[in-house]
Structure 1
Amino acid sequence: MRLLVTGITGKVGSNFLPAFLKAEKFAGWSIRAICNNRIIDHPGVEVVRASLSDAAAMRAAMDGVTHVLHMAAVKETPALAMDVGVKGMFNLLEAFRATAGTRQFVLLSGDCTVGHAFQHYDAPITEAAPRRAYPGCYALTKVLEEVMLEQYGIQYGTNGCCLRAPWIVEKDDFRYALSFVDQFGGPAWSQLLSTQDVERHARSASVPLLHDARGVPLRRNFIHVDDLVGAILAALDNPAAAGQLFNIAMDEPVDYGQVAQYLRDTRSLPTAEISTPFHSNWLDNAKARLLLGWKPQVDLQDLVDRAWDYVRAPDDPRIIWYPG
């Protein structure tokens, strides 16, 4: 078996590779990575230096491949987002279906396709919910990727599997997502607060307690990268994943009220209550639990403790793979 991977140098890819190489299930598999701007140097990985927008290069890279894991993504840079999310996806799928012996195409998508906090849902969001992206080219490309994968299954019988993840965090990401000093991700405090309020909360080391459009603590979906990697490994070469879309999220969305209370109780951190126009949503992971036998290991308290207890070594700088 040969696995072709895109996005191997990113947050998910850099965690996926050691887990894949260690997994007994994939002993004897070889791995090939398509890299463009960032290159990996690993004895267990064959590197193809190419852009996903190069159709001929994708056909060549697919030679001898049985499985594809497409994780590469670009945020709000329209030209690059189209190259990766539209041209790249099309080129990979075309090469995949034209190559003898290919078995499975796995796409890593995101809850931007259902609008996460920007869209209102009356019930938990299942895989049957309509796609309702929020504004921006990133969410649009993810919708198009999901639809392309789905349609290739209908048109050509391609065996595709889509894993739809919310905000992916590792190490101390979650701590910085709640920071008024060096914020990681969004919403940007400048969109919700005055400069004076941001500075005041930063001085007091306050924890933001976001309220949703109804005025109650916001609930937003997250997934720890370890749990997402576990889901990818569970889906790869799994007959139960054939033609399926799975929500890969924590069992419950993160409740900002519970986070604030937990940090008050355990670390004596004050709370800054903030009104937002966002909606609380619940990404239902029941299908993945049932069909893949997967379940997340990181709950809310573990998510917080991991982020606050993490101590960076001098050779472990914070890397922002992309904002949010």
Structure 2
Amino acid sequence: MKLLVTGAAGKVGQAFLPAFLNEQRFGGWEVVALCHNRAIATDDRRVSVVHGSMADEETVASALRGVSHVLHLAAVKESPDLAIDVALKGLYLLLEQFRLSSSGRQFLLLSGDCVVGHIFQDYAAPITEASQRRAYPGIYALTKVLEEVMLEQFGIQHGLKHTILRAPWIMEKDDFRYAFEMGEAQFGGPPWETLIDSETLAKMRDVGVFPAMRDANGGFLKRSFIHVDDLVEAILLSIDNPDACGELFNIAMNEPADYGRISSLVEKNGWGSPVEIKTPFHSNWLDNTKARKVLGWTPAIDLEGLVERAWNYRREDNDPRIVWYPG
């Protein structure tokens, strides 16, 4: 068997590749990593690298040669020129050539909860795989909707065996702590300037507070997250799994993260003083029941574990913080 991984040098790809290579079940597999402009840190002889753009037909053909499974991780955020190449033209080329391949067995796509609008859209019940796609504004969310639909249609029109894993905000290392930083170099989420007046924000930055956000109804905001290690485990369980073919799975923590609980944990451990912030966002719950039942997957890292890992993580000089995508 041979697995093609796009975006292998990204956040998920860097965590996935060593986990896959160390998994006994995939001991005889080869891996092809398709990379545009990043390097792959591995000396494993089973891994070969193809450099080039997914929007180039010859590059795609070279990367797909002899491939039985594809894991499509590559993504671009809020860069329309690149997003169209990766999410639309690139994905179409991959799918069209893969469906015609005699060796093709399964195509896996990593999608995101942006397709259901996560905190931007209001849902009266937990968000399941049957919930309507209601993306928030922006090219990234739009392209993820189009990716899901394109892959589903290749399954319907051509019988292509596929699996979609829909993840919320993916955390690693100290990401979760950094997501709440009030500084100007903000990591993800709407800019603080859109929620807090400039004078108040300046004072918060001087003191160093923890933003305990409230939702549109006045309760503490609740939203779903996933640690990259738990996501990788779900991917491993989906590869070459007949029960996963033709299916969409929500891959999230068992319960959404409650910003009230987060602020209590941060304050309890002396990591910051919470300050409540009103927002127009909606509390939502990305339901992972289907993944737990069909894949036999269970996330190992709960909210307490996510907080503990993030606030206790200390970066070495050779471990710089990387913001993988702009926006």
The alignment of Structure 1 onto Structure 2 pairs a total of residues equal to 324
Displacement of 1:168? 0.4
2: distance between equivalents of 1:271 and 1:80? 38
1: distance between equivalents of 2:258 and 2:205? 21
Q: Is the 8 A contact 2:35 2:52 kept in 1?
A: yes
The aligned amino acid for 2:122 is H
1: distance between equivalents of 2:86 and 2:41? 22
2: distance between equivalents of 1:219 and 1:323? 24
1:242 equivalenced with 2:245 (yes/no): yes
2: distance between equivalents of 1:239 and 1:135? 35
SS in 1 for 2:129: coil
1:288 equivalenced with 2:291 (yes/no): yes
Aligned sequence identity (%): 58
SS in 1 for 2:90: helix
Displacement of 1:268? 5.7
Q: Is the 8 A contact 2:78 2:326 kept in 1?
A: no
Displacement of 1:41? 4.7
Following superposition of structure 1 onto structure 2, how do residues 300-311 of structure 1 map, counting pairs within 5 Å? Answer: 300-311=303-314
Q: Is the 8 A contact 1:55 1:91 kept in 2?
A: yes
1:14 equivalenced with 2:14 (yes/no): yes
Q: Is the 8 A contact 1:204 1:270 kept in 2?
A: no
Match of 2:191 in 1: 188
Following superposition of structure 1 onto structure 2, how do residues 28-39 of structure 1 map, counting pairs within 5 Å? Answer: 28-39=28-39
Match of 2:26 in 1: 26
Following superposition of structure 1 onto structure 2, how do residues 308-319 of structure 1 map, counting pairs within 5 Å? Answer: 308-319=311-322
The aligned amino acid for 1:6 is T
Superposed CA deviations along residues 44-93 of structure 1, whole A, max 9, x for unmatched, are: 32111121111232123211000000000000011100000001110110
Q: Is the 8 A contact 2:98 2:104 kept in 1?
A: yes
Displacement of 1:240? 1.1
Displacement of 1:205? 2.2
2: distance between equivalents of 1:158 and 1:232? 18
- Which residue, out of 218, 226, 229, partners 2:221? 218
SS in 1 for 2:269: helix
Superposed CA deviations along residues 301-321 of structure 1, whole A, max 9, x for unmatched, are: 111110000010111010111
1: distance between equivalents of 2:312 and 2:113? 28
Q: Is the 8 A contact 1:180 1:199 kept in 2?
A: no
1: distance between equivalents of 2:210 and 2:277? 10
TM-score, reference length from structure 2 = 0.97
SS in 2 for 1:315: coil
SS in 2 for 1:32: strand
Displacement of 1:117? 0.7
Q: Structure 1 residues 259, 64: closer, same or farther in 2, change over 3 A?
A: same
- Which residue, out of 253, 256, 270, partners 1:267? 270
SS in 2 for 1:91: helix
Match of 2:325 in 1: 322
2: distance between equivalents of 1:268 and 1:104? 45
Unpaired segments of 5 or more residues in structure 2? Answer: none
2: distance between equivalents of 1:116 and 1:35? 29
Q: Is the 8 A contact 1:127 1:247 kept in 2?
A: yes
2: distance between equivalents of 1:41 and 1:207? 35
- Which residue, out of 296, 299, 302, partners 1:299? 302
TM-score, reference length from structure 1 = 0.98
Q: Structure 1 residues 8, 133: closer, same or farther in 2, change over 3 A?
A: same
SS in 2 for 1:124: coil
Displacement of 1:272? 1.2
Q: Structure 1 residues 235, 267: closer, same or farther in 2, change over 3 A?
A: same
Deviates more, 1:203-212 or 1:181-190: 181-190
Deviates more, 1:193-202 or 1:274-283: 193-202
Match of 1:206 in 2: 209
Match of 1:171 in 2: 173
2: distance between equivalents of 1:103 and 1:220? 35
Match of 1:255 in 2: 258
Match of 2:141 in 1: 139
- Which residue, out of 64, 67, 73, partners 2:66? 64
Displacement of 1:195? 2.4
1: distance between equivalents of 2:122 and 2:73? 27
RMSD: 1.1
Q: Is the 8 A contact 2:162 2:247 kept in 1?
A: yes
Match of 2:151 in 1: 149
1: distance between equivalents of 2:326 and 2:260? 24
